[in-house]
């Protein structure tokens, strides 16, 4: 995460990639160091249950231990999926959210009223991930501090709106949500968040058609998203810095922005860069 001149936190692709890579590493560790040993324990418990058929009391003990191990294994799988939402990568935002909500309803007493519209196309990976993490954090907040939550993800007239509300009292546990909300804002998503007195969040993302970019402008945008300065972009493209400035002026005009950071944010919204 870096900070532009205006002091607003900006989540560059490298920072987010590092964060998600660490989540994936932890998910793999959970599976290898805890999940696999529990699977071996379950296999052994099954053997014990069969061999103890002549001793009902001992067989019951083995059965109870196996049941507890199965519950622990399911919790590990749920936690691993939360750390590394593979379904988000493979199928997109809607299926991943449906799985997340199903897991929350299955494992917690939280009551959720939810509707999720089918999206006509995949959003850019950074935006899908940011929206998923925001809802994931909001649900975690609700599980800890609320009893009821309402979630709506609606697509209408090229505008995607996320509405989330729960009945948590006042500002209980709001601090850890700030990261997710700021991450949405860094991608150009308008976010309204307040306690009234319950937690209430509305995130709005416009999805207009992207402006036409030339091949050279797309190349400049790609290097811009990686954080390269103009001189290095010029060297990579084998052109002069003046030519890069010319392409940047055209990019700013087409995206209706005035800075490099705004250009990258707009390019992410239009899915011009990844």
Q: What is the pLDDT of residue 196?
A: 63
Q: Which of these three, 189, 206, 223, is where a domain ends?
A: 206
Q: Which of these three, 163, 179, 206, is where a domain ends?
A: 206
Q: pTM of the full predicted structure? A: 0.65
Query: Is 189 in the same domain as 109?
Result: yes
Tell me, what CATH number does 187's domain have? 3.30.565.10
Q: What is the pLDDT of residue 176?
A: 66
Report if residue 154 sits inside a domain: yes
Query: Is 138 in the same domain as 197?
Result: yes
Report if residue 104 sits inside a domain: yes
Query: Is 198 in the same domain as 233?
Result: no
Query: Is 109 in the same domain as 131?
Result: yes
Report if residue 3 sits inside a domain: no
Query: Is 78 in the same domain as 97?
Result: no
Decide the pairing of beta strands 159-166 and 199-206.
Answer: antiparallel
Query: Is 65 in the same domain as 99?
Result: no
Provide the domain limits for residue 100: 91-206
Q: What is the pLDDT of residue 7?
A: 47
Report if residue 7 sits inside a domain: no
Query: Is 110 in the same domain as 17?
Result: no
Number of domain units in the chain: 3
Query: Is 107 in the same domain as 195?
Result: yes
Query: Is 221 in the same domain as 162?
Result: no
Q: What is the pLDDT of residue 250?
A: 93
Tell me, what CATH number does 240's domain have? 1.10.10.10
Q: What is the pLDDT of residue 272?
A: 86
Query: Is 192 in the same domain as 223?
Result: no
Q: Calculate helix-pair angle for 260-269, 241-255, nearest 10 degrees.
A: 50
pLDDT tens string, the chain, 274 residues long: the values are 444 444 444 455 566 678 788 888 888 888 888 889 999 888 888 888 888 888 888 888 888 888 898 889 888 888 888 888 888 888 889 999 999 999 999 989 999 999 998 887 778 788 888 899 999 989 998 999 899 999 999 988 778 899 998 988 766 666 667 778 888 888 878 888 766 667 788 888 877 667 888 999 999 999 999 999 999 999 999 999 999 999 999 999 999 899 998 899 888 877 788 7
Q: What is the pLDDT of residue 1?
A: 47
Query: Is 194 in the same domain as 114?
Result: yes
Q: Which of these three, 184, 206, 228, is where a domain ends?
A: 206
Report if residue 221 sits inside a domain: yes
Query: Is 181 in the same domain as 103?
Result: yes
Q: What is the pLDDT of residue 102?
A: 93
């Amino acid at each position: 995460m870096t900070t532009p001149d205006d002091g607003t936190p900006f989540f560059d692709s490298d920072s987010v990639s590092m964060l998600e890579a660490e989540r994936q590493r932890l998910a793999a560790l959970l599976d290898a160091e805890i999940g696999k040993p529990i699977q071996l324990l379950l296999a052994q418990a099954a053997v014990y249950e069969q061999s103890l058929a002549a001793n009902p009391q001992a067989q019951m003990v083995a059965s109870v231990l196996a049941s507890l191990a199965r519950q622990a294994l399911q919790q590990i799988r749920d936690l691993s999926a939360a750390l590394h939402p593979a379904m988000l990568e493979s199928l997109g935002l809607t299926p991943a959210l449906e799985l997340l909500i199903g897991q929350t309803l299955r494992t917690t007493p939280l009551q959720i009223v939810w509707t999720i519209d089918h999206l006509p196309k995949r959003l850019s990976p950074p935006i899908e991930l940011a929206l998923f993490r925001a809802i994931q954090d909001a649900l975690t907040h609700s599980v800890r501090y609320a009893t009821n939550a309402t979630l709506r993800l609606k697509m209408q007239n090229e505008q995607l709106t996320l509405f989330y509300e729960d009945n948590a009292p006042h500002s209980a546990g709001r601090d850890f949500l700030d990261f997710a909300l700021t991450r949405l804002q860094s991608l150009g998503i308008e976010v309204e968040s307040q306690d009234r007195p319950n937690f209430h969040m509305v995130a709005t993302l416009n999805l207009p058609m992207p402006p036409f970019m030339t091949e050279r402008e797309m190349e400049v945008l790609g290097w811009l998203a990686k954080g390269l300065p103009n001189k290095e972009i010029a060297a990579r493209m084998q052109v002069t810095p003046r030519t890069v400035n010319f392409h940047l002026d055209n990019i700013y005009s087409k995206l209706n922005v005035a800075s490099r950071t705004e250009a990258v944010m707009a390019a992410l919204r239009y899915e011009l860069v990844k």
